[in-house]
Structure 1
Amino acid sequence: MLDNTHRIIAGVVLLTVIGIAYGGTFLLRVARGRAPANDLQKSFFRAGHAHAGVLVILGLLVMVLVQSNDVGEPWATLSTGVLIAAIFVPAGFFLSVASRDPQQPNGLVALIWIGLAVLAVGLLAGGIGLIAAGVG
């Protein structure tokens, strides 16, 4: 099903879920008032955490679908954008409000938009590649 390279990628990505789960404990501290955060930070921390979990699972699903259906190039490579987005989008949410009591996100909010663009390319490539593999 997966070649050795993609097995390793999948294994590493699965291990990152431990970090995402640990991040949930930080959100619990914020929610209980044990970690200082203003309303903007709370919203961005929640969004970053949620996007990390969803995009990691979606990225693994796309990888398995693409690999198990022999999707050709460049579609297979471009579809890895979903996993790359799983880094950029959450990083943008967290890093753009990482200062003490920010009133608005800093310039690193651009990482969210970059990640969303990479996500769109990855999903488009995966979808086109799967359709092409099915038609061919």
Structure 2
Amino acid sequence: MDQVLLSDSSRVLAGILFLSLVTVETGGLYLVRVVTGRAGVTPFQEKFARAGHAHAGVLLVLALVCQLFVDQTGLTGVWEWVARSGVAAAALLMPGGFFFASMGRGRDRPNRLIALVFAGALLLAVSLATLGVGLLLGGGND
């Protein structure tokens, strides 16, 4: 059986992503307070807290998976960076948008920071498309 090795870039970013998942886990403690009614939030804020927490966890795990695939492309330079780091950056932007757009006592609709969600979604799409094209064009390890 062939041994799969990560590039140094993938290994370092994967280590950071695994540590980041611990912050999502601890953020779940706040979510428990929210859903049990002990955080004093509006129904809108509860929905955004759930969305932010879910996006953070799922996107960090997806960013980990991407590390395995980026090393199999021939991407270099900025395109490699976009494919390698874009999902991880989206994992900051999108949840941050949900959390920051709903901050404030009694808020019942998002503020302008909701733009972070859309910026993260755009970066996510560009990153995944770049990785997908990089894999289809090949040039990696055969």
Q: Normalising by structure 1, what TM-score?
A: 0.92
Give the number of aligned pairs: 135
Q: Which residue of 2 aligns with 1:36?
A: 40
Identity of aligned residues (%): 39
Structure 1: 5+ residue runs without aligned partners?
A: none
How many angstroms does 1:3 deviate by?
A: 2.2
Offset from partner CA, 1:14-72 (integer Å, 9 cap, x none): 001111011111111111111111011000000000000000011111121111x1432
How many angstroms does 1:131 deviate by?
A: 0.6
SS of residue paired to 2:38: coil
How many angstroms does 1:7 deviate by?
A: 1.3
Give the whole-Å Cα distance in 1 for the aligned partners of 2:33 and 2:51: 16
How many angstroms does 1:134 deviate by?
A: 6.4
Q: Which residue of 1 aligns with 2:23?
A: 19
Give runs of aligned pairs for residues 49-68 of structure 1, distance below 5 A.
49-67=53-71
Question: Are positions 1:48 and 2:13 aligned together?
Answer: no
Report if the CA contact (8 A) 1:75-1:128 is conserved: no
How many angstroms does 1:75 deviate by?
A: 3.4
SS of residue paired to 1:105: coil
How many angstroms does 1:9 deviate by?
A: 1.4
Q: Normalising by structure 2, what TM-score?
A: 0.89
SS of residue paired to 2:138: helix
Structure 2: 5+ residue runs without aligned partners?
A: none
Give the whole-Å Cα distance in 1 for the aligned partners of 2:82 and 2:125: 10
